Structure 1
Amino acid sequence: MDHDRSSGEGVGPQEYTLIKMRVQELHGKLASLAPKVVFLIAATLRPETMHGQTNCWLGPDLNYITIEAKNGDVYVCTKRAARNMAYQGMLRVENKVLPIVEMKGYELMGTKLTAPLTSYKTIYTLPMMTVKEDKGTGVVTSVPSDAPDDFAALIDLKNKPALREKYGITEEMVNVEPVPIIDVPEFGTLISAPSVCQMMGIKSQNDKEKLVEAKEKVYLRGFYEGTLIIGEFKGKKVQEIKKAIQEKLVKAGEAELYQEPEKQIISRSGDECVVALCDQWYLDYGESEWRKQVEQSLSDLDTYHGEVRRNFEATIDWLKGHTCARTYGLGTRLPWDEKWVIESLSDSTIYMAYYTFNLRASGKDLVPNHLTYYLYNHTAIWPTQKEMWPTGIRANGHLLLNSEKMSKSTGIFLTLTDALDKYGADGMRLALANAGDSIEDANFETQVADSGVLRLWTFVELAKELMIEKDTMRSGPNTVNDKMFIAEMNLKIRETEEHYKTLMFKESLRTGFFEYSNLFHQYHLSLTKASEYLAEASHCFRLRLKSHMTSGKGKKGETPTAPQPPSHGIVWVAKTFPKWQSIILTTMHDIYKKNKSLPDNKELSKALGSAPSLKKYMKKVMPFVQAVRERMDKFGESALKDTVEFDECSILEENMDYLQATLDLEGIELKWTEECENERTQEEVVPGEPYLTFFNATCLQLELINPQPHTGLFQAILPVYENDNLAAILNRLKRCERSVKPSMKITFHRFKDPVLGPRVIPTMADILQGTEQISEDEFFSLKGDSIHYTSNGSMTYLGTKILYLVQ
């Protein structure tokens, strides 16, 4: 049962054909088994290829055992395979593995075998290093004409005498050639595996990656397109005669049917699971008429996610009999056979009425079992009442914690109570909604929860500030910006509603909280082309700043010095495109208007190559064309115009405070590129794409002290630049001291005696004793290593400290 598994949920049984290869002479450890008949048994998925057997592979270092079969013969295989056989009624003693002889693979090398269907009377056991103990029986039939792995390993043994000598293999034992058995399109009858190995340059079994690719090519083409060219079924398609050859081998006593899990399955008790043949009651999921009803039910079902629907389709495709009862545990007794208890997954799939018209939410791991049974059972009980069938299933992934699987044993877990105590209900909801929408495992990130709490707190504080300032806000007819703001908000509301309807909570959070909140901060921008320009320009400026701050490579053995953060910047703006670029834009625009699209770059190159004025720029032409194409992806046809539709300098000037804040600069100048001495800047900066350079201006440090008790505000040390005014100092203080809010009124006070004043013990009854307020029309000057203030044309020494008060 899936729910009894610790790992491997959804993994089913894989059927193999066990090929019985009789040992001709009992030597070594096998000699003690005489006079019994001994077989090496190989598990294969391709019984139709047995005509091409040339040898048998064993893992030299693998552990093998001999066990007695039901008919008294003796089988050689791995202990793991024997355990599966024991539970499938294939051994003399059921449900137990009783080894007769144990040995290593190398002890069986060179054993003579008689194998069914092959044209060789005798084949030998040979060493292969890649034989696995956890798949099949540890005994592998070798068909080098059809299997690239077999061909490469055989060639290794032929070409490496030292390898043969190590395992006692003679040249006679490897003196075999691949047998053509299948005619494959492209490869013909000239043996598929050798052909593809030659084509791909595979020279050894160590070319593992190439061998995997070769195997996929040969096996797929051989099985689905190949025709058998040997034996009783000669001339027939391989995929049509696989079952017939299997049945022939089993009937002749030369093979048996065997099953093992497709992948490893570990039970909750820690044991590795096997495929067992049991006396059992089954629900015949997969029965043709029943399956048609379920497929109809699925077609009408809202799965919310395409991957979930594909998983249901895949499950319905392979699901057949399901064991629906067991002899132990709690549950309902099977009415017609009360020694059986109905298994829980089969006893809990008819749900309360609301599940059939609202929704069934569950984990993605239940799609291959529980949820598919849910569809089957409803269609069986109400075959003609479709209104009783499920209408929606929302499957979700598991929940990770900081990208790791939660487990108490590893200490990686978070209880609901602890999470609520730490983040609160709203912070939890935000982090859970952000964890993921698809059926991939959702990831609860504590960092997101922390930042979510901060975002929510900031949002509440913003709302409080806006309410305080409500009476001072303007009123009157809506401007264009107001209308655009309202339209954007309404769009986000509609998008969020749609995401909620489809249970896409991360998308709902994105549009209904993050993007909706961001609209407020964009409100003062132009929401037309000018706003797009500002957003793109500020993004490029941030990338430019990041590049500027990246440490260069230092000398060998030395740690590179991190660049000093710049204080100021210059934004260079171009009035026009260079002449050669204007010609390209005009040409591309004319072609676009004529054809409603642009041709490929080859056609554009021809059109532009005929312009005489572009000849000396030909190396730059196509890179510029490609850059224009990329701008078109963002801005559409407007990217082909050789001018911009707004005043760049006005937009930048109006938003200078925003640019300074986002770049953390003290000042930004605007200049035309024609003023720049750098020719590259003049050539490459174009209209609509300003360029930012940085520099550090001279400054001196000024200490600002808050003498007010109980404010939570103390001192701040800030740089002062030439011609700074109080507004610049105030903005700098707000960035440095987050407790200073926009709604607060700040006044600044200097000491009348800038030398003695800061040294006098302040009087709490008169905290401004010995000071005077600095007026807004004053500005600061730097003279040598001291700061002065200028008022009415006269310059006075300021000192190194001033006071600031919050009202």
Structure 2
Amino acid sequence: MNEFAAKLYEIARKWQERWMKSRIFEVEPDESKPKFFITAAFPYPNSPLHLGHSRTYTITDVYARYLRMRGYNVLFPMGFHYTGTPILTMAESIAKGDRELIELMIEVYDVPPEDIEKLKEPLSLARYFHNDAKMAMIESGYSIDWRREFTTIDEEFKRFIVWQFTKLKEKELIKKGTHPVGWCPFHNMPVGMHDTKGDVEPEIGEFTLILFELEKDLYLPAATLRPETVFGVTNIWVNPKAEYVVVKLDGKRYIVSKRAAFKLRFQRDDVVEEAAIKGEELLGKRARNPATGKAVPILPAEFVDPDTASGIVMSVPAHAPYDYVALEELKREHPEVLERLGVDPDELRPIPLIRVKGYGEIPAKEIVEKMGIKSQKERDLLDEATKKLYSDEYHYGVVREDIIEHVYSDMPEPYRSFAVAPVKAWIAGKSVVEAREAATKWLAALGYGDKMYEVLNRPVYCRCGTEIVVKVLKDQWFIDYGNSEWKKLAYELLNSMRIVPEDMREEFVKTIDWLHERAAARTRGLGTELPWAKGWIIESLSDSTIYMAFYTIIHKIRMYGIKPEQLTVEFWDYVLLGKGSAEEVAKKTGIKREIVEELRRDFDYWYPLDSRHSGRDLVPNHLTFFIFNHAAIFPRDKWPRQIVVNGFVLLEGKKMSKSLRNIVPLRRALRVYGADTVRATLLAAAEILQDANFSEDLAKSVMSQLRKFENYARLSRSMDSEETIADKWLLSMLQQRIEATTKALDELRTRAATINILYEMENDVAKYLELRGGKPGPALKEYIESWTKMMAPIAPHIAEEVWHEILGKDTFVSIETWPSVDPEKRDPEVELIVSYVDKIVEDVKSILRVYKGEAKRLVIAVAKPESWHIARIVSSYVAKRGQLRDAIRAVINAGVPKKDAAQITRKLYEFLRSADEALLSLIDGVQEFDEKAAIVQLKDYIVRKTGIEQIEVYYVDEAENKMPQQKIRQVIPLRPAILIE
């Protein structure tokens, strides 16, 4: 920690203590102010908060602080999520002496060795990291109302969750049924995102198993997500190095990988393993395609993953890049293998089935050759090609009309009899989407189709280390996110919300669309028991959907000593939904009527939730469940108004991970850099949805800017009373900065706001001091006061320090009023003068770099004020991207002689086309501009910047004999002639 970082850390602790003591972030309903209720996803206390977590909370806090200064009554509460299995699993692993985990705790998470003993018991571990996370939030300066803090195993919260699930069940949105779920074979329970290593949600997909008959009553169940391509199968792939088994299920015998047999036991009853067989033993045998009757060979392919689905893959080289490449590689490099297996290469020719715009006859061949893929080992490229082709065929593909003639010309009986009519009716000429559904149903009806569930994003591991499989749960409780009427409500709520950034809306739409039934409970873990199913604990992504409502009244439930058993369904119905009456609730619960009414008023004041903040990884689960559950339980006037989604945090350009051991605990970062540096670095690194790269260089740059801010504040105390053009310029720039920063924060462009406050405003003050020769004037104090207020949401601790200790204020800047633009102080002419003179200085310096000899005299010839209107005309055409000819015509109409108009307009047009929008805006805002007067006003500044003591400035008609005629003829508005001698 360097000296200034240590100072920042101490300043932060000082102001955190004062905020706590003064309780400035504890809020109650106040009808005199507009309210703003803002929340961020509460943390799961099984490890310390790190820099990645901090980004979400910092963005939330910046927005909360900003709106508080804009006059809103802002509530920003925080709770802690104990529900689920991660805490249990981690405590169990530590208790068992898991060396790797214990080393991670000590070396990466900064847990003192003497504290490891505390982590062996689940609740002790949870409370340890709960306290650590709370301290990290306090030390980060988050403006949280800590009176409302709770955990999801608090008895009061459990009563709230019982009410929520009672409501869902009453609406028939929780039902008993049979559905596939992610499953931990070790713990024998369903798992979700928070139960897995890396917080990965198991994505469950349904594979169609197409039964290729190897011999009577023995089948190879080829697993596919594209059953419509079965007509183009040339061969079957197996992995020659894998172990396969013969299993019997539902009266049929399948050959599947050993791992598939294990998985099928979780999905089917009475799976009997009969015999083992090696993959290489299957090579060269032939299996009959049930869709065409053709006997196709079994060939070797190491890309076949025996751990995925059945471990048997059908080969469709016309439409599958992996298949095409593997077959070409086999024919090219291992023809002896085909010869030994008795396979003629000609029978492996691709069979094209699907036409898709942008591709030729054999799409897989085309995309593989375009991408230059030669080997099946080029998995990344093959994955990319597969994803692209599958997507294009799914969205735009059509099955060939001539599929019957093309595929079935030599089809044997009896296959032709039962195949031709249905294929012609349901599949030929149909879209891929239609053909896929038809092929699946047709094969199943014939007895040649089956299904198997698989984790599509495998491998996903339970926190205990066991790989997750898919289990078909029978007679279990599910939340029915597939309910069509519920989906309509969810879409309605989404359409009524502001999504920041707007680009994320489509992700929510897709998630709502594909969400289906989800297991509601687990058999182990912390949390709330299903009220009607003892022994089942509501899982962690199901009890964290509407808990924001609980924040509104929990502190008063405690304050009034209300007992958990008094928090009945009727209590919550009245307080949160307005159902029933306070008298009835008071009579049934024993809570005083006036207290019940007060709680109802509090909830009614704070709800709906105004802004919900979370990381992008929670869009496919928590944030969408949040939408569904609010839509189901609350009336429309209580639906949330906004969701804000942010990207992840990188460390020195790399993803933070346990394996890289580069996770930085937040409290360590705060000690090393200071809270304000950490906050501002995370904000300055990227706009909200981009991944933010926290780097040492950026942190040092931010720290340097904070130091400059403090130094300039001190300088403002010793000012010169004389006002100059520089002071008018500084106050005019201040109006610009206020306007730009306010707009950025309103739009949650936190990087733009931070860059403006930390860097652009510092540039303004540095420029101002240059203009004044280093002596601060009267404008600096006003600028610093506004700058300090604008710094408060970003770097609140140093803002408070400057506000109190340097500027001598006796209020908290955190609850001061946000600066507003004063139109009277906006002065485009002064801004243009400084911009214009800076351009002259830049041009002079460019000349001096090649000038030989000592420069003693600078002569400048400028356009006369009467020609300024020409600059404004041309600028207006450039700003709206008008044509040069139209600008020339406008200049002529303004009274400029034709013989001069074309030349001067062309020069101005070319010059202004390279100018930025800010200059064009200034030109538009300045009615009259005297370039000679501008230079004279800032003559001393030009001397200091160029080092040339003697400066002479003339209007163009005064410049005769002062410089060559050739130079004088080049003068146009804003482009003077310059001579150095």
Matched letter for residue 458 of structure 1: K
Matched letter for residue 316 of structure 1: I
- Decide whether aligned partners of structure 1 residues 503 and 338 sit closer, same or farther in structure 2, where only a CA change above 3 A counts: same
Matches within 5 A, 1:281-430: 281-351=477-547, 352=550, 353=552, 354=606, 356-382=608-634, 385-406=635-656, 410-430=660-680
Task: Report the Cα offset of residue 590 of structure 1.
Answer: 8.6
- Decide whether aligned partners of structure 1 residues 298 and 215 sit closer, same or farther in structure 2, where only a CA change above 3 A counts: closer
| 1:115 aligned residue (268, 279, 289) | 289
CA distance in 2, matches of 1:388, 1:637: 43
Task: Report the Cα offset of residue 649 of structure 1.
Answer: 7.5
CA distance in 2, matches of 1:574, 1:495: 35
1:270 match: 465
- Decide whether aligned partners of structure 1 residues 500 and 114 sit closer, same or farther in structure 2, where only a CA change above 3 A counts: same
- Decide whether aligned partners of structure 1 residues 437 and 399 sit closer, same or farther in structure 2, where only a CA change above 3 A counts: same
Q: Contact 2:874 / 2:908 at 8 angstroms: preserved in 1?
A: no
1:734 match: none
CA distance in 2, matches of 1:182, 1:248: 19
Task: Report the Cα offset of residue 368 of structure 1.
Answer: 1.6
Q: Contact 2:321 / 2:365 at 8 angstroms: preserved in 1?
A: no
- Decide whether aligned partners of structure 1 residues 22 and 198 sit closer, same or farther in structure 2, where only a CA change above 3 A counts: same
Secondary structure of the residue aligned to 2:434 is helix
CA distance in 2, matches of 1:595, 1:693: 31
Matched letter for residue 312 of structure 2: V
Q: Which has the higher contact order (CA 8 A, sep 6+)?
A: 2
- Decide whether aligned partners of structure 1 residues 376 and 639 sit closer, same or farther in structure 2, where only a CA change above 3 A counts: closer
1:245 match: 439
CA distance in 2, matches of 1:457, 1:215: 50
1:101 match: 277
Matches within 5 A, 1:195-274: 196=366, 213=385, 216-217=388-389, 220-221=392-393, 224-229=396-401, 230=404, 231=420, 232-234=422-424, 235-238=428-431, 239-264=433-458, 265-274=460-469
1:508 match: 753
1:41 match: 221
- Decide whether aligned partners of structure 1 residues 363 and 78 sit closer, same or farther in structure 2, where only a CA change above 3 A counts: same
1:4 match: 195
Matched letter for residue 248 of structure 2: A
Identity of matched residues, %: 29
2:416 match: none
Task: Report the Cα offset of residue 286 of structure 1.
Answer: 2.9
CA distance in 2, matches of 1:11, 1:683: 74
| 1:86 aligned residue (245, 265, 268) | 265
- Decide whether aligned partners of structure 1 residues 597 and 167 sit closer, same or farther in structure 2, where only a CA change above 3 A counts: same
What's the CA shift string for 1:275-296, capped at 9, x where partnerless? 2212331111131111111112
CA distance in 2, matches of 1:181, 1:347: 48
CA distance in 2, matches of 1:492, 1:380: 44
- Decide whether aligned partners of structure 1 residues 75 and 377 sit closer, same or farther in structure 2, where only a CA change above 3 A counts: same
- Decide whether aligned partners of structure 1 residues 191 and 363 sit closer, same or farther in structure 2, where only a CA change above 3 A counts: closer
CA distance in 1, matches of 2:676, 2:290: 70
Task: Report the Cα offset of residue 241 of structure 1.
Answer: 3.2
Secondary structure of the residue aligned to 1:467 is coil
2:711 match: 461
What's the CA shift string for 1:665-703, capped at 9, x where partnerless? x8899999x99xxxxx99999997899999xxxxxxxxx
Secondary structure of the residue aligned to 2:716 is helix
CA distance in 1, matches of 2:302, 2:908: 57
CA distance in 2, matches of 1:668, 1:163: 87
**Unpaired segments of 5 or more residues in structure 1?**
25-35, 549-565, 578-585, 605-612, 614-621, 661-665, 676-680, 695-807
| 1:474 aligned residue (709, 722, 725) | 722
Q: Contact 2:222 / 2:312 at 8 angstroms: preserved in 1?
A: yes
CA distance in 2, matches of 1:139, 1:169: 18
Task: Report the Cα offset of residue 486 of structure 1.
Answer: 2.2
**Unpaired segments of 5 or more residues in structure 2?**
1-191, 405-419, 553-605, 772-828, 864-869, 889-898, 900-905, 954-959, 962-966
Secondary structure of the residue aligned to 1:412 is coil
- Decide whether aligned partners of structure 1 residues 88 and 686 sit closer, same or farther in structure 2, where only a CA change above 3 A counts: farther
CA distance in 1, matches of 2:394, 2:612: 44
Task: Report the Cα offset of residue 112 of structure 1.
Answer: 1.4
- Decide whether aligned partners of structure 1 residues 527 and 11 sit closer, same or farther in structure 2, where only a CA change above 3 A counts: farther
Task: Report the Cα offset of residue 497 of structure 1.
Answer: 3.4
2:315 match: 142
Q: Contact 1:572 / 1:690 at 8 angstroms: preserved in 2?
A: no
Structure index of larger Rg: 1
What's the CA shift string for 1:327-364, capped at 9, x where partnerless? 22232222222232221221232322446334333333
CA distance in 1, matches of 2:303, 2:950: 69
1:15 match: 206
Matched letter for residue 248 of structure 1: W
Give the superposed CA RMSD: 5.4
- Decide whether aligned partners of structure 1 residues 687 and 211 sit closer, same or farther in structure 2, where only a CA change above 3 A counts: farther
Matched letter for residue 233 of structure 1: V
Deviates more, 1:493-502 or 1:533-542: 533-542
- Decide whether aligned partners of structure 1 residues 47 and 520 sit closer, same or farther in structure 2, where only a CA change above 3 A counts: same
Q: Contact 2:684 / 2:751 at 8 angstroms: preserved in 1?
A: yes
1:759 match: none
CA distance in 1, matches of 2:502, 2:879: 37
- Decide whether aligned partners of structure 1 residues 626 and 482 sit closer, same or farther in structure 2, where only a CA change above 3 A counts: closer
TM-score (norm 1): 0.63
Q: Contact 2:878 / 2:912 at 8 angstroms: preserved in 1?
A: no
| 1:53 aligned residue (233, 248, 259) | 233
What's the CA shift string for 1:17-75, capped at 9, x where partnerless? 11222224xxxxxxxxxxx8443332212212212222223445x42412413146543
- Decide whether aligned partners of structure 1 residues 169 and 408 sit closer, same or farther in structure 2, where only a CA change above 3 A counts: closer
Q: Contact 1:572 / 1:670 at 8 angstroms: preserved in 2?
A: yes
CA distance in 2, matches of 1:543, 1:438: 39
Task: Report the Cα offset of residue 595 of structure 1.
Answer: 13
Secondary structure of the residue aligned to 2:625 is helix
Matches within 5 A, 1:738-777: none
